[in-house]
Amino acid sequence: MTGNFTVRHVHRASVETVFACLTEPEHLTHFWGPAGTHTPLENIVVDLRPGGAFETTMVNDTTGDTYTMRAVYVAVEAPRFLSWRERDSGVLTEVTFADLGDGTTEVVTTQRGLPPHMRTPEARAGWGTALDRAAAYIAALTRRSG
């Protein structure tokens, strides 16, 4: 298993909407983290600029245990590209947003330099549920806004 992980997803929403959902705390609070967790709004810090902080503290729905991710934005090119590096693990996450011209947006997310504990099938499955939650939120948001 390599130290990189890439996922592609097409959302039925504008590139601006998808970018906002992945960069604004009032959106992130609805889906950030794997199934079985939640991330309260007050646990999200977004200073959307290169060198700015991106921090989240997820809460386990059953045990109340917390997991904090502290990162620094490396690049912010709204609404086309976003990257951040986690302070503790060194993992670099890069997200590319492409307007497909038909009201949909392709999002390609790559994580580079994953340490072994983040490469397990369980870790990838958890990450997959987080992406599924984001897709469901964006779909519901798009339906509500018409």
Q: What is the domain-level CATH number for residue 129?
A: 3.30.530.20
Q: Is 18 exposed, middle or buried (0-12, 13-18, 19+ CB in 10 A)?
A: buried
Measured CA to CA, the distance from residue 60 to residue 72 in angstroms comes to 24
Measured CA to CA, the distance from residue 32 to residue 13 in angstroms comes to 18
128: left (phi over 0), alpha (psi -120 to 50) or beta: alpha
Question: What is the count of structural domains for the chain?
Answer: 1
Measured CA to CA, the distance from residue 97 to residue 36 in angstroms comes to 27
Residue 103's pLDDT is: 94
Model's pTM, two decimal places?
0.92
CA-CA distances (angstroms) from residue 80 to 30, 35, 42?
22, 27, 27
Contact 57, 63 (CB under 8 A): no
Domain that holds residue 47: 5-145
pLDDT-flagged residues of the chain (< 50): 1
Q: Which residues pair with 74 in a beta bridge?
A: none
Element containing residue 97 per DSSP (H, E): strand 92-99
